[in-house]
Amino acid sequence: MKDISCKVLVIGGGPGGYVAAIRAGQLGLDTVIVDPKPMGGTCLNVGCIPSKALIHAANEYRHVSKMARGERTPGVRVENPSFDLAAAVEWKDGIVARLNGGVAGLLKKAKVKTVRGWARFRDGKTVSVDTETGTQVIRAEEIVIATGSKPVELPFLKFGEKVLSSTEVLSLAEPPKRLVVVGAGYIGLELGTAYAKMGSHVEVVEAENRILPQYPADLTRPVAARLKDLGVVLHLGAKAKGLVGEDALLIETAGGRDERLPCDKVLVTVGRAPLTEGWGLEELALDMDGRFIAVDDRCRTSMRGLYAIGDVTGEPMLAHRAMAQGEMVAEIIAGHRRAWDKAAIPAVCFTDPEIVTVGLSEAEAKHQGIEVKTGQFPFKANGRAMTLEDEDGFVQVVARADNHQVLGIQAVGGGVAELSAAFSLALEMGAVLEDIAGTIHAHPTQSEGFQEAALKTLGHALHV
C-alpha cells in the first residue's frame, strides 16, 4: 500500500478531531483524518446525541402517561400509552446515521482524506494505520492527537452483559425492570432519569452525600425533587462493592452496613478517562499532566509539530471545548495568530430539570477573594414556564460588586439548555449587569428570567 504524505494528520474523528480536519481543509491544508469507527466519536455515536434522543423519547412517554392519568395539559386526552424501546433505539440510530453521513460529507467538501482504521505512532511524524486492506503508513508535518476518552471501568464491576457502560445502555431491547446506577454524576442521572420515565425501577448509588456533587447544591435540589417524584431511590454516601449472585448489587451504606439491591442491569457511570493507550504514546516523548497530555494555550504538546485537543488533554471533558480547540489548532497550523483565551465554557446537565452553569459560581468567586452580588429569578414567576407546565427552577447571576461585571450565570429548569448560548455570550463579551437588564428580551419566553435575574441583582426586579 502506497505511503501517504500530508501537511496535517488528525488522529481521532470525534467532535474535536473532525472540526480540526474540516477547518484545516477549508484553509487549504492537505489534511488526513484517521479513525476506526464512523466519524463523530463518542459524542455523536454513543454519547451526547443518542443519549439526548432517548431522553427525549422518555420525556414524551412520561408526558403522555401523565395526560392519560389527567395530570397534565387540561383538554388533551390520551388512552393506554405504551413505550417501545426497540423502536426508540431504531429512531435514535437513524439520527446518528444521518449525522455520520453529514460529517463525512463535510470532510469530503473540505477535501479531507479519511482513512478508516486504528492509528499507531512510529515516531513523531509517522503513524501506521491498520485498515481492512492492510497497513497504511502516513507521514505528516503536523499531527493533531484527538483520541478522546472512554468510560471508567471498576475492577469489581467489569463491563459485560449484566454491567453496562454508558455505551451499552443506549442500545437495550427493552427497559430493565430493575436498574441500579453507580454514580450520580450527570451521565448517570441523565440516563437513570430516562429509564425511570420508561418504567424501570431505578436506584442510584453515590459515594458523595448528594447528587451531582460537581454542581452547586441549590441547582441540584429541583433535580432531586423530580427524582423522588419519579420513584428513583437514592443511596447517598454509599459505595458499590460488587455483584452478589445473578440479581443483586452489594453496597455499603452511609451507615456502614451491607445492603443488597435487586437488579436486572447495573449501569456504571463513575467518570471517563483519557484514551491514551493503543496508539503509541510510548513511542513519543510527551509531557503529561497526570493522566492527560500536557498542552499550552495553543494546544501544543512538548514535541514540535504535535498538538493535542479534547478529552485527552483534561477537564472540562466537553465536546464543545474540543470543537473550539480543534478549530483553533487548524488556524494556528495555517499561520493564524490564535490562543486559548475563553472567558467561559458552558456546562449543561440534561437531567429533569436541566442545569446550566457558565463561569464562576458565587462560592467560587468568593474563594478567589472577589466581592460579589447575586440575584435569582424563579421560573414560578415566568409566564412562559407556566404555559409549558414546567415552573421548577430559576436563573441566577453572579457579578462583581464594584463594577457589576458578570462573572457567572447558573440556571435550572425545563429547557434551560437553550439559554446557555446567551449566558456564554454575556461572559465572552464582558457584559455588566446593566447590559443584560437593558437588553429587551422577547415576551413570553424563559429568557426573560435572565433579564429579571440581572434586575434582581441590581436591586429592582420587576416581576418578583
Q: Which CATH class is domain 347-456?
A: alpha beta
**Residue 443 is a catalytic residue:** yes
Q: Which three cell numbers stand for residue 296?
A: 499550552
Residue 268 has pLDDT above 90, yes or no: yes
Rounded average pLDDT over 245-266:
96
Q: Are 258 and 250 a contacting pair, CB within 8 Å?
A: yes
Q: What SS3 class is residue 389?
A: coil
Residue 63 has pLDDT above 90, yes or no: yes
pTM for the predicted model, two decimal places: 0.96
- Other CB atoms within a 10 A radius of the CB of residue 385 amount to 24
Phi, psi (5° rounding) for residue 114?
-105, 130
- DSSP single-letter state for residue 154: B
Rounded average pLDDT over 387-410:
97
CATH fourth-level superfamily of 163-270:
FAD/NAD(P)-binding domain (3.50.50.60)
Q: What is residue 1's predicted lDDT score, i.e. its pLDDT?
A: 84
Tens digits of residue pLDDT in 128-151: 999 999 999 999 999 999 999 999
Tens digits of residue pLDDT in 374-384: 999 999 999 99
User: So where are the chain's domains?
Assistant: 4-53+86-149+273-333, 163-270, 347-456
Between CA 83 and CA 173 the distance in angstroms is 11
* Selected catalytic residue, list 201, 235, 336, 443: 443
Task: Tell me which residue of 245, 154, 131, 168 sits closest to 205, measured CA to CA.
Answer: 154
Q: What is residue 246's predicted lDDT score, i.e. its pLDDT?
A: 85
pLDDT bin (cut points 50, 70, 90) of residue 291 is very high
Rounded average pLDDT over 289-315:
98
Q: What is residue 130's predicted lDDT score, i.e. its pLDDT?
A: 95
CATH fourth-level superfamily of 4-53+86-149+273-333:
FAD/NAD(P)-binding domain (3.50.50.60)
Q: What is residue 301's predicted lDDT score, i.e. its pLDDT?
A: 98
Q: What is residue 244's predicted lDDT score, i.e. its pLDDT?
A: 95
Tens digits of residue pLDDT in 326-371: 999 999 999 999 999 898 999 999 999 999 999 999 999 999 999 9
Please identify which residue in the block is written with the cell numbers 500536557: 294
Tens digits of residue pLDDT in 15-62: 999 999 999 999 999 999 999 999 999 999 999 999 999 999 999 999
Domain 4-53+86-149+273-333 shares a fold with domain 163-270? yes
Q: What is residue 219's predicted lDDT score, i.e. its pLDDT?
A: 97
DSSP conformation letters of 43-55: HHHHSHHHHHHHH
Q: What is residue 443's predicted lDDT score, i.e. its pLDDT?
A: 98
DSSP conformation letters of 337-374: ------S---EEE-SSSEEEEEE--HHHHHHTT--EEE
Q: Report the mean per-residue pLDDT for the chain.
A: 97
Task: Tell me which residue of 155, 258, 227 sits closest to 249, measured CA to CA.
Answer: 258
Residue 309 has pLDDT above 90, yes or no: yes
Q: Kindly state the percentage of the chain with pLDDT values over 90.
A: 98
Task: Tell me which residue of 315, 14, 48 sits closest to 166, measured CA to CA.
Answer: 48
Q: CA quadruple 302, 32, 131, 43: dihedral positive or negative?
A: positive
pLDDT bin (cut points 50, 70, 90) of residue 386 is very high
